[in-house]
Amino acid sequence: MKVIESLNIKEKAYIEKLENGLTVIIIPKQNSNKKYVIWGTHFGSIDNRFIMPQTGEEVFIPDGVAHFLEHKMFEQENGTNSLDTLMALGIDANAYTTNDHTAYLFECTNNFYEGLDELMDYVQHPYFTDENVEKEKGIIGQEIGMYDDDPGWQLYMNAMDCMYKQNPIKIDIAGTVESISKITPDVLYKCYNTFYNPSNMVMVLCGNFEPEQILQEIKKRIVPKELQGEIKRIYPEKENTINKPYKEVAMEVSSPMFAIGYKDCEDFEQEKEHIVAKHIAIEILLNMIIGKSSKLYKELYESGEILSEPDLSYEFSSQYAHILISGQSKNPEKIQNEIKKIVEEYKQNGLDKEHFERIKKKIYGDYVVEYNSVGDIARMFLSDKMKQINSFDYIEEYSSVTKEYTEEILKNVFKEENMIMSVVKCK
């Protein structure tokens, strides 16, 4: 097995690519009594048009298929539901779908191998019929209705609509009631057979494991499948401008909600080898601009303009990249204007060295803390692997992020012409 290591935090990860193409990552945590496994496929909501490697057929699928497929994987031909089976073993199991991957997971202290039996059985044995697919449409239709009524989700989706014209990231992960009505067992099997091939999947395990032993246990449970060629995914052309600067809706909320965003229009392919350093720099900048210890946050909080520390994030893949600052305020426009001012001030005068170093240490501390939880570690390694990133790079590249480099990122990414705001105001 290939071993990668972070000397800074004394952690190791063992990586093996099996003959069938499956990548297995094992992060031993000898002192943990919890075990965590997550099995992901590189198939998310943005993958709605592709060419099947087996046949060369171009397929355009309805919105929401990746999420629909995730729901259906638990149902077994014998009438049982694998989620119920895992819960009955005292195992905390779940699944989720994102823009770029779908994952099945569980955490436990006991019955690990019984859980692994069930996980590796249901993920490798899909069972779709006309009847069970139709039944699921009603269940997911209700879920879509719940998200339609969720102010936080509407805030996010409207922010995506502001930033992107054609990019599929602006499509709801669950799809719409109309789009899921077009899903059939044939569509699900086509997507399963294409994207759930081991060569498109990654399994991450974290806990008190002996790497070689757990690897043999996984190999025992693998259903033989032929290697397949690369899946050609077809996406719309990249967009170098925002779609619209502002969007608002009125909903039942106690105080207006805002999401202020910057669309990152830099070329991902050119930036790829620096993406970790760039991500670290953006996290530092967001904390300096309006994080809990920033001057701006202190002023806004003390004047009652902002109700709590805003959520700060940078989401990226080869197909999209954007910054989001979201929270609650009676006056979202003022928050946006104050952010514009502080960004301009930093561009003109540079970053304060002492503040920069303090925030940089805080960000490093946040990364280190993630290694205390087997679940956080496993999810992080899976998510990063889908982006072709080694998670340890966030620890190792931290020291290379200088004030001067961060100032360059500020100028290149925090551009007013690429700024948007989504608002959910009170009804």
Just list the catalytic residues.
Answer: 70
| Contact status, residue 427 vs residue 251, Cβ threshold 8 Å | yes
**290: nearest Cα among 337, 221, 247:** 337
Query: Would you tell me how many other CB atoms lie within 10 Å of the CB of residue 320?
Result: 23
Rg (CA), the chain: 23
DSSP class per residue in 148-199: HT-HHHHHHHHHHHHH-SS-GGGS-TT--HHHHTT--HHHHHHHHHHHTSGG
Contacts of 134 (CB under 8 A, 6+ apart): none
Cα–Cα dist 277/397, whole Å: 6
| Contact status, residue 224 vs residue 20, Cβ threshold 8 Å | yes
Cα–Cα dist 98/388, whole Å: 16
| Contact status, residue 115 vs residue 108, Cβ threshold 8 Å | yes
Q: Is 79 exposed, middle or buried (0-12, 13-18, 19+ CB in 10 A)?
A: exposed
| Contact status, residue 293 vs residue 359, Cβ threshold 8 Å | yes
Hey, what are 82's tokens? 């694998």
Hey, what are 93's tokens? 């199991």
User: In a 3-state reduction of DSSP, which class is residue 21?
Assistant: coil
Cα–Cα dist 235/251, whole Å: 33
Contacts of 287 (CB under 8 A, 6+ apart): 293, 294, 312, 359, 362, 363
